[in-house]
Structure 1
């Protein structure tokens, strides 16, 4: 049976990230008395990111119950691979089966505190076990519901000792206070989302009205960074769909504990939360994520990227506009196809001017004023290539989207978005922005070719759904309706990838799935040139030459 394409995409994480070394674990029948050997900071002189919580953070022996990646894993295992461990320790001291109450009453908190020092960060995630009975002879790990000052004095049936049980919020506040007293920074995370679907089969059941909501409330009250693993996880699962989400868990009836792939998805959300709250220094991250799982690399300031002018103003110009897949500038070994296009042209006859800029969408290339600057240099007889789409899918209204998302489609409908300075922006459709570029350029006497985006590393095989299907369709419709040419670069590159096979294609990328290296940029530039040769009337015939000649 062929694996689902999104399952394949997610499975790439299994090969990109190492499994952390398993820790010794022996447990009695009472998880609160678990004899657990937990990791300590590997390099005590470095700052540490310390994790406390339950089995959804660190499961059992942290070895998948000997079942490998398909066993049960907490997100505290794969998250270490997203950090530079030469700059920060990642210390997972969560214990399976415990609650915010029993992590303390079992003595694990007292054993963890000596490792917390000034300048460290402690992420706490409790809640899955806190709804258990307050007093029984099995676990006795439940807490009082809510965030208030209520208390209940019990004679603990499990330990035989008196105990005062408080609310979930009170236990969290206790951790926050002691972490701050140690000079460290506390971070509260809501419990990870469970694999539970509403009757419609597409909506994930939230837990916002109880432990997730109470965690958020305590974070607000205490002025602590909050990571909403409940809501973000639900949105991520809904985007992936029920079939793919099932592959992130061991077989049914498991709904709480993820397998290693699911743990990696949750780890990405934690990284996204740390980034969004600006908790850690920028240089400790090896990989960055937004809540939707996309790469969250900082967007370069457009004002620092000079608009490129034609080398020889007397010659016609081939002008490129787009995102980092057109020009990456060598950042982290990435190059866009536009940076390897000039050798295919006779530069004594035409200027090749690459004014693409990383991190932009069809919307932000326009709203930031980049288009106005490019337009000043356009003249009659020039040609322009347009390729956007990789960043247009960001959610409008989500700060993690960096105000890049455009309205889906080609219509005139708008959606209001709030900019970082508090001002409001009427966001147009992807097609609206393309039409504006085309009509502005043609008004200057220039010609336009619209390109669909290059495909992702994991979305080009025949059995996989077509990458950028909507953006290709929208681009073609707008081009034809407004006097521009269109090249389905997504499909052209995908077909070329299929011809050479996965091993070579994997060697074309500088990151997990989006940005090509030098060889990949040359390969994709070659496919573009083949597309230009096949345009009606062969408008580029007099400019093209074989590279190296």
Structure 2
């Protein structure tokens, strides 16, 4: 079996990050090492709309850092995941209330009075996610922070005269503190969720394996969650796998400069926020309609894939006319699901349909691989005839991780070669997965054998990947598509670049109004805009076929 190059996973996971989310700093007083936790008056946010249910977060600086403003350094400063997570949820339906405090442990969050100040905001029907552990290994009793807990999950306790506060205190185990929060959350009629501490940027000697913390606080958090029957989010193990997939060099970009190994920058906080979203989804914690974007632990889209057998193959309206046949994913055809419209659904009004059929056989959730393996291509191919044109656009789902169930058996091998990777289907059968280029070549040669001409289009760009200063979106898929098209005598349109250039011309404010979700799927306005860009690309091809097929007058415009 051929090993998968790490570059594919790296690009896939990086592409899933919303690193251009607007920053919304909250007013807070920074908690410092010399501050007495019993006296600290940290201003924390309250539910924006008390009538709504709330997702309340408690924890340390990896959830909410300092003033929650990146220390004035913008996206490169230190951020906790509790800030970007709000951008993945519909805050018109749920409050996201980040009550975490930097520098505290499961013990001092309670002893400092922050828990007592947070409890009044917890009501029946709310959810409370707790993530402690990074500071719990500190000394139990010193004159600096006195924030450590007893190790383990048992009933052990220790009576001390706190050197920092000058008062007697009974210190309990990490597990005992978590159980205390769980009991009080339940008593308020809310649902507790336990998360293990986020993974640190620490690598084993091989440079490819991330050092886990499963034997201590992460393991104890999991143990308590299991004992208490509450949802558990494994940020330790999931984070380690994400980092290993990204690789050491890329992970370094998720943190402020060395020697920082704990606190992430904005991009790293977004990675951890996506893991929390994945955990909430996996545990069925929140209502389905509050998610603006869904994630699996590997960063892929968690939305269920529609059954292809329930989507009828579209036939040409007039079999005597030539047809422009479209195959692709949900960015070509979404069918209005959650307000999403693909550009292929708005292509017909731009053509004279008395001269040509527009046949959109794209289907949501598909990759170059699954459109072929599920039999969809065979059905489309039956209808192709000499004189037709086939337009192909895949790539959005091809980066799914082969072998990971979260990838939904959609990932293709990166590149153009003939190598294969074995994947296991849900029924246990094995599949030899080919390269992205291999599948494109198959579509092209099959269509050409029927006398049709072919145009390969690179994927439309994401909402957050079209500005000049940002990395080019779908760089590899565009390059592979162009190489295969040229080699097979087909045409190629760099739709990624064409749309990105048009987005730059109209500006960010208008582009923001083109999408039905956080970054991928267009609404009606966006679909129309991108359909016009497709026609622009078709008009530039050397064949004059499309010039006489366009609707009159031309509807192509940017304004």
TM-score normalised by the shorter chain: which range applies? 0.7 to 0.9
Distance 1:19-1:166 versus aligned 2 partners, 3 A rule: same
Distance 1:459-1:91 versus aligned 2 partners, 3 A rule: closer
Does the CA contact (< 8 Å) of 1:48 and 1:90 recur in 2?
yes
Distance 1:28-1:483 versus aligned 2 partners, 3 A rule: closer
CA displacement at 1:321 relative to structure 2? 0.6
Q: Which residue in the other structure is 1:3 paired with?
A: 3
Please list the CA deviations of residues 213-234 of structure 1 after superposition, one character each: whole Å capped at 9, or x if unmatched: 4333443454433323334445
Distance 1:191-1:414 versus aligned 2 partners, 3 A rule: same
Q: Distance in 1 between matches of 2:219 and 2:516?
A: 40
CA displacement at 1:391 relative to structure 2? 1.2
CA displacement at 1:92 relative to structure 2? 2.5
Q: Distance in 2 between matches of 1:35 and 1:300?
A: 51
Q: Distance in 2 between matches of 1:337 and 1:392?
A: 19
Does the CA contact (< 8 Å) of 2:78 and 2:266 recur in 1?
yes
Does the CA contact (< 8 Å) of 1:28 and 1:34 recur in 2?
no
Aligned length: 547
Does the CA contact (< 8 Å) of 2:85 and 2:274 recur in 1?
yes
CA displacement at 1:139 relative to structure 2? 2.0
Distance 1:397-1:181 versus aligned 2 partners, 3 A rule: farther
Q: Distance in 1 between matches of 2:322 and 2:378?
A: 19
Q: Distance in 2 between matches of 1:22 and 1:547?
A: 58
Does the CA contact (< 8 Å) of 1:32 and 1:103 recur in 2?
no
Q: Distance in 2 between matches of 1:303 and 1:199?
A: 49
Distance 1:22-1:244 versus aligned 2 partners, 3 A rule: farther
CA displacement at 1:357 relative to structure 2? 1.9
Q: Distance in 2 between matches of 1:519 and 1:257?
A: 40
Distance 1:418-1:187 versus aligned 2 partners, 3 A rule: farther
Distance 1:517-1:40 versus aligned 2 partners, 3 A rule: closer
Does the CA contact (< 8 Å) of 1:79 and 1:264 recur in 2?
yes
CA displacement at 1:325 relative to structure 2? 2.0
Tell me the TM-score normalised to structure 1 length: 0.82
Does the CA contact (< 8 Å) of 1:452 and 1:490 recur in 2?
yes
Distance 1:250-1:492 versus aligned 2 partners, 3 A rule: closer
CA displacement at 1:392 relative to structure 2? 0.8
Matched position secondary structure for 2:548: coil
With 467-476 and 199-208 compared, the bigger mean Cα shift is at 199-208
Matched position secondary structure for 1:14: coil
CA displacement at 1:312 relative to structure 2? 1.3
What is the Cα-based RMSD across aligned positions, in Å?
5.2
Superposed counterparts of 1:398-547, under 5 Å:
398-419=404-425, 425-460=431-466, 464-482=470-488, 484-494=490-500, 508-535=514-541, 537-540=543-546, 543-544=549-550, 546-547=552-553
CA displacement at 1:523 relative to structure 2? 4.3
Does the CA contact (< 8 Å) of 1:326 and 1:337 recur in 2?
yes
Task: Specify every segment of 5 or more residues in structure 1 that has no aligned partner in the other structure, as ranges.
Answer: none
CA displacement at 1:354 relative to structure 2? 0.8
Matched position secondary structure for 2:518: coil
Distance 1:340-1:47 versus aligned 2 partners, 3 A rule: closer
Distance 1:425-1:75 versus aligned 2 partners, 3 A rule: same
CA displacement at 1:33 relative to structure 2? 4.5
Distance 1:133-1:337 versus aligned 2 partners, 3 A rule: same
Does the CA contact (< 8 Å) of 1:411 and 1:429 recur in 2?
yes
Matched position secondary structure for 2:38: helix
Does the CA contact (< 8 Å) of 2:31 and 2:102 recur in 1?
no
Distance 1:473-1:42 versus aligned 2 partners, 3 A rule: closer
CA displacement at 1:117 relative to structure 2? 3.9
Distance 1:65-1:379 versus aligned 2 partners, 3 A rule: closer
With 358-367 and 233-242 compared, the bigger mean Cα shift is at 233-242
Q: Which residue in the other structure is 1:364 paired with?
A: 370
Please list the CA deviations of residues 460-483 of structure 1 after superposition, one character each: whole Å capped at 9, or x if unmatched: 455654432322233234445555
Does the CA contact (< 8 Å) of 1:137 and 1:157 recur in 2?
yes
Does the CA contact (< 8 Å) of 1:334 and 1:516 recur in 2?
yes
Distance 1:321-1:3 versus aligned 2 partners, 3 A rule: closer
Matched position secondary structure for 1:16: coil
CA displacement at 1:124 relative to structure 2? 0.8
CA displacement at 1:80 relative to structure 2? 3.2
With 457-466 and 396-405 compared, the bigger mean Cα shift is at 457-466
Matched position secondary structure for 2:411: coil
Distance 1:102-1:4 versus aligned 2 partners, 3 A rule: farther
With 241-250 and 511-520 compared, the bigger mean Cα shift is at 241-250
Q: Distance in 1 between matches of 2:461 and 2:521?
A: 10
Superposed counterparts of 1:197-216, under 5 Å:
205-216=211-222
With 382-391 and 62-71 compared, the bigger mean Cα shift is at 62-71
Distance 1:404-1:142 versus aligned 2 partners, 3 A rule: same
Task: Specify every segment of 5 or more residues in structure 2 that has no aligned partner in the other structure, as ranges.
Answer: 6-10, 555-559
Superposed counterparts of 1:75-474, under 5 Å:
75-147=81-153, 151-152=157-158, 154-159=160-165, 163-196=169-202, 205-234=211-240, 253-259=259-265, 262-291=268-297, 296-331=302-337, 334-419=340-425, 425-460=431-466, 464-474=470-480
Does the CA contact (< 8 Å) of 1:27 and 1:33 recur in 2?
no
Q: Which residue in the other structure is 2:44 paired with?
A: 38
Distance 1:56-1:497 versus aligned 2 partners, 3 A rule: closer
Distance 1:57-1:320 versus aligned 2 partners, 3 A rule: same
Distance 1:477-1:246 versus aligned 2 partners, 3 A rule: closer
Distance 1:183-1:370 versus aligned 2 partners, 3 A rule: farther
With 498-507 and 153-162 compared, the bigger mean Cα shift is at 498-507
Does the CA contact (< 8 Å) of 2:29 and 2:41 recur in 1?
no
Distance 1:334-1:224 versus aligned 2 partners, 3 A rule: same
Does the CA contact (< 8 Å) of 1:144 and 1:165 recur in 2?
yes
Distance 1:430-1:532 versus aligned 2 partners, 3 A rule: same
Does the CA contact (< 8 Å) of 2:31 and 2:103 recur in 1?
no
Q: Distance in 2 between matches of 1:287 and 1:269?
A: 12
Does the CA contact (< 8 Å) of 2:2 and 2:419 recur in 1?
no
Distance 1:335-1:168 versus aligned 2 partners, 3 A rule: same
Tell me the TM-score normalised to structure 2 length: 0.80
